[in-house]
């Protein structure tokens, strides 16, 4: 008779069972173990069987969670290649000076974080002594993404190493005097030390993945062999809640980035309390990373736990560790042995008996002190396993105690992230615990002293010898200037000077055509890094696919469906294009890695990232700040730009504000070019400034943001005359006058107005120029405002110069000097974009722009809706002139009626 509880074939998946009898025997064996030895034993056997299957490479679903124990047992730990006692003393000095620096700074009210580094000290020290390669090592050394709140510990080690002085430490978070230390890793503020800004939570993990990927890109394209470089990202368990932290895990495993290691400091606490109060963050992260295909190494318990695990003959201890939620583990850290005996061990008769074999001191040692992230051997074993693992990235989940060694007032307290100082008594307790030779008399007037064993001490010599063997100091950033890249041939840029004749060309297409010519340059062409988030065809870039190839570490393992077409989809191991799929965040991380290769790897790369303008600054402005912080260089291109150019797309696609956001970033040079020759001139100057012979007064560490449009319009020829290129680069030049435009002004002694337009708005302005002349007898001169933001910045610099007693006239005022009549500025963006320059325009000033939400309609209807079409410009110009008494007020009313406004 059939057992009704047995699994029937119809309930299984579609895999054929060639031996149902054998299958039934295996199932019966499992049932027998469950009945005889209990479900825990059956589960144990199943886990071990699955682990063996996975180790043998059998094609089975992965086991997403393992027991709450160390991945590497004590018996399998490798011998540490170094002097463990010496490293303990070095770590003690670093702990002390990190806490002293923040405490001394607290007297000035500048704050700081103590508890994070206290938990992670061994995670860093073990790496610095044994694993992290410096800049003089093979390739470019390792890239270190330091957890931002741990920066005091990195400064403390640089102080011990002789790279920082007491004066530096005393200026922690006090940078205005010029000798200070930034609060967090910040290349722009401390460019010889920090490579990567990491405090904008979640961006560090994302950037680290794409940095490791870009390293492979450089190697595979034969730009530079950096295969020996390893990327280390130090993260907090709370930080992993950020969507960006885990957004690219699948990319890392899919491309087999075994040059990447995440080290997650699992101190179980975030800023306000437990990370997973009712759950277990380590287990959650393990499942997440294993499911994404990563190698996972857990380092949870220190050596003191070995005795407990040996006594656990029933598995009750391991089961209990899996059950206890993180917040309760945190509570054990602050309670006495009696509480732990009752709450932890008292839940199971087997654990009650086990606890009888343990002294109170043993229990407190285990639950208060002994964590895998606090012991050099455990960390060393985890790191060695990570760098030796091939075929996949590794994540190390290291359990620690937040505030470790800082005393009972700090360890595991919910408020310790906001606690900025220790008392004198707490420092003395810390000194005794760390066994440091600091005397009570060293505390002068209650000020905690810095500690240093001496420049020629065994500790410092050991530290420096270890770093020398690994390729020099770390972290460190290369700051020496590279040789300028030779400028591409002028013909690539000059091709746009003659215009397009009667052919309609959008500025998006003009930019793509320019890049197609530039990537052919024999010297610098291979250094271009085209980046696109799955919109290459939208921007007319598909012609680059077969010529440049799309980067894929596996090459092309299939025959593309369009192989018989001229512009077929070509992937290649040495492909130049980074086509990232639908991920603006991933594309920006690509851009950051490429834009800083001049420093990270000593190789100048020229990235351009082209995207729907609405999905750039609005979505990833935080990464654009990161780009500026990291001193990145390159071209961001907001395509299909403007509020009214995307016919039918509507509110969510119609960008009317990206230049506003871009203007807030001091490193971003924001341009809104109207014509193809302007695009070419700006790109040419950008290449000169960022990669060529920049002027001494220019900051090379900038990036360009260009808005380009999808509206096909005949491109005019570049006007002749002096100063055109200067005006394009600085932000404003006169495109034509009423007379040079050839429009017929139907009035004697016509009044005059100056019309300023940017981007696609220039075409409505030119139409308005004609209407004003022919229908209203008004002469209008037209100016192209390529950058409202650069005009404003120049004016702000002039104002600052005046405060210093220097006479300087803003370029904007110089350009408009003597221009007759009022000024009317027009943009396809909200009015505050052109209004950036208002206070420096000596003439009467007004503006038009596309304020409000976008909408779906034709271009003409959208422009009428926002009041920026040619007829609306005419009415606004007449109104401005009427206020000055230069045209009758009735003309304004008549114009509204005539144009149906």
* E strand or H helix that includes residue 861: helix 859-866
pLDDT band of 416, cuts 50, 70, 90: low
Say which residue, 2 or 856, is predicted with more confidence.
856
- pLDDT tens-digit readout, 317-348: 999 999 999 999 999 988 999 999 999 999 99
pLDDT of residue 101: 94
- Strand-pairing partners, residue 444, are 447
pLDDT at 14 over 60: no
pLDDT of residue 50: 81
Which of 11-15, 692-696, 698-702, 752-756 shows the lowest per-residue confidence on average (mean pLDDT)? 11-15
pLDDT band of 11, cuts 50, 70, 90: very low
Q: From 659, 654, 650, 660, select the one nearest 640 (Cα to Cα).
A: 654
pLDDT of residue 221: 97
Q: Burial level of 564, CB count in 10 A (0-12/13-18/19+)? A: exposed
- Mean of the per-residue pLDDT values of the chain: 93
pLDDT band of 12, cuts 50, 70, 90: very low
pLDDT band of 712, cuts 50, 70, 90: very high
pLDDT of residue 418: 63
Which of 50-64, 519-533, 721-735, 864-878 shows the lowest per-residue confidence on average (mean pLDDT)? 50-64
- pLDDT tens-digit readout, 767-824: 999 999 999 999 999 999 999 999 999 999 999 999 999 999 999 999 999 999 999 9
- pLDDT tens-digit readout, 360-371: 999 999 999 999
pLDDT at 841 over 50: yes
Quote the distance between the C-alpha of residue 593 and its chain's center.
9
pLDDT at 2 over 60: no
- pLDDT tens-digit readout, 546-575: 999 999 999 999 999 989 888 899 999 999
Highest-confidence segment of 420-424, 433-437, 563-567, 855-859: 433-437
- pLDDT tens-digit readout, 121-177: 999 999 999 999 999 998 899 999 999 999 999 999 999 999 999 999 999 999 987
Q: Do the beta carbons of residue 264 and residue 352 sit within 8 Å?
A: no
pLDDT at 211 over 50: yes
A 10 A CB-CB count for 375 gives: 22
Q: Do the beta carbons of residue 421 and residue 103 sit within 8 Å?
A: yes
pLDDT of residue 480: 76
pLDDT of residue 413: 64
Q: What is the dihedral of CA 487, 493, 497, 498, to 10 degrees?
A: 130
Percentage of the chain lying above the pLDDT 70 cut? 97
Residues 595-616: what's their mean pLDDT?
95
pLDDT band of 415, cuts 50, 70, 90: low
pLDDT at 594 over 80: yes
Distance CA 60, CA 58 (A): 6
Quote the distance between the C-alpha of residue 812 and its chain's center.
35
Given its phi and psi angles, is residue 692 left (phi above 0), alpha (psi -120 to 50 degrees) or beta?
Answer: beta
Rg (CA), the chain: 33
pLDDT at 746 over 80: no
Length in residues, the chain? 901
Say which residue, 185 or 694, is predicted with more confidence.
185
pLDDT at 9 over 70: no
pTM of the complete model: 0.94
In degrees rounded to 5, what are phi and psi of residue 355? -65, -25
- pLDDT tens-digit readout, 33-70: 988 988 878 888 888 888 788 778 777 777 788 999 99
Given its phi and psi angles, is residue 282 left (phi above 0), alpha (psi -120 to 50 degrees) or beta?
Answer: alpha
pLDDT of residue 407: 77
pLDDT of residue 1: 43
- Residue labelled with tokens 């001049």: 598
pLDDT at 4 over 50: no
Q: Where are the beta strands (DSSP E) in 573-727?
A: 578-579, 606-612, 635-639, 668-671, 703-707, 713-714
pLDDT at 254 over 50: yes
- Strand-pairing partners, residue 846, are 824
pLDDT band of 417, cuts 50, 70, 90: low
pLDDT at 733 over 90: yes
């Amino acid at each position: 008779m059939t057992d009704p509880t047995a699994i029937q074939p119809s309930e299984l998946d579609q895999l054929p069972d060639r031996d149902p009898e054998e299958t039934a025997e295996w199932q019966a064996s499992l049932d027998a173990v469950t009945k005889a030895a209990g479900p825990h034993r059956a589960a144990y056997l199943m886990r071990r069987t699955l682990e063996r299957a996975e180790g043998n490479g059998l094609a089975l679903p992965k086991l997403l969670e393992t027991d709450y124990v160390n991945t590497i047992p004590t018996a399998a730990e490798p011998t540490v290649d170094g002097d463990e006692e010496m490293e303990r003393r070095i770590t003690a000095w670093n702990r002390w000076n990190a806490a002293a620096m923040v405490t001394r700074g607290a007297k000035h009210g500048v704050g700081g974080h103590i508890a994070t580094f206290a938990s992670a000290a061994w995670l860093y020290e073990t790496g610095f002594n044994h694993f992290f390669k410096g800049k003089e090592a093979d390739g470019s050394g390792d890239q270190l993404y330091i957890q931002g709140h741990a920066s005091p510990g990195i400064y403390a080690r640089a102080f011990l190493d002789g790279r920082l002085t007491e004066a530096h430490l005393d200026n922690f978070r006090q940078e205005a005097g010029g000798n200070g230390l930034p609060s967090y890793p910040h290349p722009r503020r401390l460019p010889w030390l920090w490579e990567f800004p990491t405090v904008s939570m979640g961006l560090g993990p994302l950037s680290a993945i794409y940095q490791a990927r870009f390293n492979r890109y450089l190697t595979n394209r034969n730009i530079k062999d950096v295969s020996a470089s390893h990327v280390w990202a130090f993260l907090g368990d709370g930080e992993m809640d950020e969507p960006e932290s885990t957004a690219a895990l699948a990319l890392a495993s899919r491309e087999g980035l075994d040059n990447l290691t995440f080290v997650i400091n699992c101190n179980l606490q975030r800023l306000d309390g437990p990370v997973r109060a009712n759950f277990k963050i380590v287990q959650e992260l393990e499942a997440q990373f294993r499911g994404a295909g990563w190698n996972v190494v857990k380092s949870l318990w220190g050596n003191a736990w070995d005795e407990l695990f040996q006594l656990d003959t029933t598995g009750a201890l391991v089961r209990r560790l899996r059950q206890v939620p993180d917040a309760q583990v945190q509570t054990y850290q602050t309670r006495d042995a009696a509480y732990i005996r009752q709450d932890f061990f008292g839940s199971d008769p087997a654990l009650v008996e086990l606890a009888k074999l343990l002294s109170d001191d043993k229990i407190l040692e285990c639950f208060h002190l002994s964590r895998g992230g606090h012991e050099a051997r455990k960390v060393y074993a985890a790191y060695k396993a990570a760098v030796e693992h091939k075929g996949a990235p590794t994540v190390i989940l290291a359990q620690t105690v937040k505030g470790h060694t800082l005393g009972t007032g700090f360890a595991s307290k919910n408020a310790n992230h906001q606690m900025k100082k220790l008392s004198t008594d707490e420092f003395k307790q810390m000194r005794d615990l760390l066994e440091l030779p600091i005397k009570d008399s060293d505390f002068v007037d209650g000020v905690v002293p810095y500690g240093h064993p001496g420049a020629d001490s065994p500790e410092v010599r050991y530290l420096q010898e270890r770093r020398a063997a690994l390729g020099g100091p770390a972290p460190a950033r290369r700051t020496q200037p590279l040789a300028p890249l030779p400028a591409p041939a002028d013909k690539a840029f000059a091709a746009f000077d003659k215009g397009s004749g009667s052919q309609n060309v959008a500025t998006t297409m003009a930019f793509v055509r320019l890049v197609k010519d530039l990537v052919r340059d024999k010297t610098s062409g291979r250094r271009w890094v085209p980046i696109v988030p799955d919109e290459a065809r939208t921007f007319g870039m598909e012609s680059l696919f077969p010529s440049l190839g799309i980067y894929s570490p596996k090459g092309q393992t299939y025959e593309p469906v369009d192989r018989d077409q001229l512009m077929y989809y070509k992937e290649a191991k040495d492909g130049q294009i980074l086509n990232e799929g639908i991920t603006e965040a991933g594309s920006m991380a690509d851009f950051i890695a490429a834009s800083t290769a001049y420093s990270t790897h000593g190789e100048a790369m020229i990235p351009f990232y082209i995207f729907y303008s609405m999905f750039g600054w609005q979505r990833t402005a935080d990464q654009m700040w990161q780009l500026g912080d990291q001193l990145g260089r390159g071209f961001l291109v907001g395509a299909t730009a403007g509020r009214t150019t995307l016919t039918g797309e509507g509110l969510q696609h119609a960008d009317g504000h990206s230049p506003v956001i871009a203007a807030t970033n001091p490193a971003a040079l924001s341009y809104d070019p109207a014509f193809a020759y302007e695009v070419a001139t700006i790109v040419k100057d950008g290449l000169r400034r960022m990669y060529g012979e920049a002027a001494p007064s220019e900051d090379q560490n900038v990036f360009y943001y260009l808005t380009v449009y999808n509206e096909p319009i005949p491109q005019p020829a570049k006007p002749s005359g002096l100063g055109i290129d200067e005006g394009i680069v600085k932000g404003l030049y006169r495109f034509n006058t009423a007379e040079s435009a050839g429009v017929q002004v139907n009035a004697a002694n016509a009044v005059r107005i100056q019309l300023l337009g940017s981007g696609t708005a220039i075409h409505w302005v030119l139409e308005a120029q004609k209407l004003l002349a022919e229908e209203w007898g008004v002469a209008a001169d037209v100016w192209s405002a390529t950058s409202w933001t650069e005009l404003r910045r120049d004016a702000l610099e002039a104002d600052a110069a005046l405060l210093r007693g220097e006479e300087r006239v803003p370029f904007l005022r110089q350009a408009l000097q003597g221009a007759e009549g009022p000024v009317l500025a027009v943009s396809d963006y909200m009015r505050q974009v052109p209004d950036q320059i208002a206070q420096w325009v000596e003439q009467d000033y007004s503006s038009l722009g596309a304020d409000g939400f976008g909408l779906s309609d034709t271009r003409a209807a959208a422009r009428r809706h926002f009041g920026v079409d040619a007829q609306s410009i005419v009415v606004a110009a007449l109104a401005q002139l009427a206020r000055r008494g230069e045209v009758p007020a009735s003309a304004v009313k008549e114009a509204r009626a005539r144009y149906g406004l």
